[in-house]
Structure 1
Amino acid sequence: MRKYKTGYIASSEEVSSKSEIFGKYFSIIYEPKVIDDRIKDDYYVIIKTKDFQNARKVNQLIASSLSLIDARNFFTLDSIPQLVPLEKYNEEIPKSHSNVMSVGRLDIPEAINIATKASFKRKYYLSLLKYQLACELHSNDIMDLYPQYYNLSRNPADHLRIANAIIIFYSIIEELGLEIRASKKNPSKINGKWNPKIKAELESRLSKSNININETIDWSLRSTPTKIEKFKNLPLVKKSNWSTFNIRDSEILIVDAIAHVSWLRSKIASHKLNKAFTSLSIYDVANVNLLVRRLLLESLRMFW
């Protein structure tokens, strides 16, 4: 197995175990950071795998895992931290990969845990990569969602980025096998209410994926209802604790959130765009983002 030093630097406070961590086709070890023959309190993250291409995939998974932890874009798909072979191996190293920055921050060991778990199943590692791509199109710092109102953008480019981020986020729900499975003969709703068979089948798949179907999720709703809200009323459970005046944030069941995102993807964000498309806001994409984040983290048995 060849060794490659990544640009990730983990804090000694978070590296609880120096044991080797094993993924499907690689392992990761921590080596003390040494500068001028002095050992620092931080650790280099070293990938052990058969070649540079595999190491690069692992490097990318760690970057995508950091995006999942933060619920926003930390790196773009093309700007992950540097990757340096620890010895001279007979292999081609892309030049575009030689001048990328290194990074030291919190949660790198947790990102590594997520990446190693995800590596064993195609649906998980593809979901991670999709998550980072969606965040690259549009994501918010958590403080941007602090209970206050941001006016709707009037720039069509913003709406397009939000719409396509929603499309990719929803595809993660499909990747995880947690989408609504209905047909014309067996629709998801009958007279505006859940078809009990469809709902029960979805709840069963959610439970098997370690998703707590009884725990609600907060849904950001701000100012007066948008065109999108007027098109489709949300089946809300109750107001969030902090809701007041024009902050209408509320709690919604996971199954109802998935149904709404499915509708939002199909009727608003995809295909030929209608006038309601201009009502897409940072809150719409943030709601979808945080729903998908929860589904992915709980499916991986990781919690934040």
Structure 2
Amino acid sequence: MAAATLEETSTRRPATVRSLLEHGVAVLGRSGITDPQVDAELLVGFVLGASRGQVQAMSITEAATSVDDAVAITEAIERRAAREPLQHITGVAWFRTIELEVGPGVFVPRPETEFVAGLAIDSLRSIVLDPRREEGPIAVDLGTGSGAIALSLAVEVRHAQVVAVENSSAAFVWTKQNFRRIAPDNTRLVFTDLADALPELDGLVSVVVSNPPYIPSAAIPRDPEVRLFDPEHALYGGVDGLDVIREVSKTGLRLLHTGGVLVIEHGELQGSEIRALLSDDGWHAPSTHRDLTGRDRATTALHFSE
């Protein structure tokens, strides 16, 4: 006799959090999810409105769930098994100290970008007063996407003014929502191309940061979550992957005052090319930094006026 499905079983007796978790871990493991236990706990918690710790406790105590919750958890597990990003299913992405709303049309911020944001935050914190202004320093996030980097800078460096730039209408829907919800009073959001952005701030900015599209156009991202669900405009940077980074370099030179800092995220094999590009453009002391996994993840440089 064929084994009953989880949904069929749930019509005869209440499903438990433990059985749902075990089912989820098995399904996600077969689909190639890196840490199926974590994802299963997060999805069960999302449906039940519980933290991971609470889910674990409910699993130990064999807590029962309603039929509706069991079906919703099973559907969420199936979506994740199809490699839909966890953040699209739950609608949120945690980034440093903030919770962002994300979904189709906007790039889902990754943990490695938290390291990049940290470099920009450290640079911004070191500036108490902009040398040309009586106000706090200004930071600009070029290609802000969900607003992850810009909002982190604004929340963690309250004496700074942060301006975020985005040119994708699909992403901007999410950006506006995150800015409205998190609502720091030291931010401004602008819809424009980064090449033409913010001429009124030329020579006044202390930190320019960007996580631009940097995948070469012929490359295929390894992760299905990226390949199938992230918007192409946030991924691909031309034949060598550096087209947008070239624009970031030019805009950064225009915006930064002397001594200002540029921070760019990039792929782990692009550091040497980007250092050369920045040196050719006139930047000083380009340096590539490794993230917590030991991969080259960001390059910084200083701007000094001639």
Instruction: Give TM class, smaller chain.
Output: under 0.3
* Greater relative contact order structure (CA < 8 Å, 6+ sep): 1
Q: TM-score if structure 1 supplies the norm length?
A: 0.27
Q: TM-score if structure 2 supplies the norm length?
A: 0.27
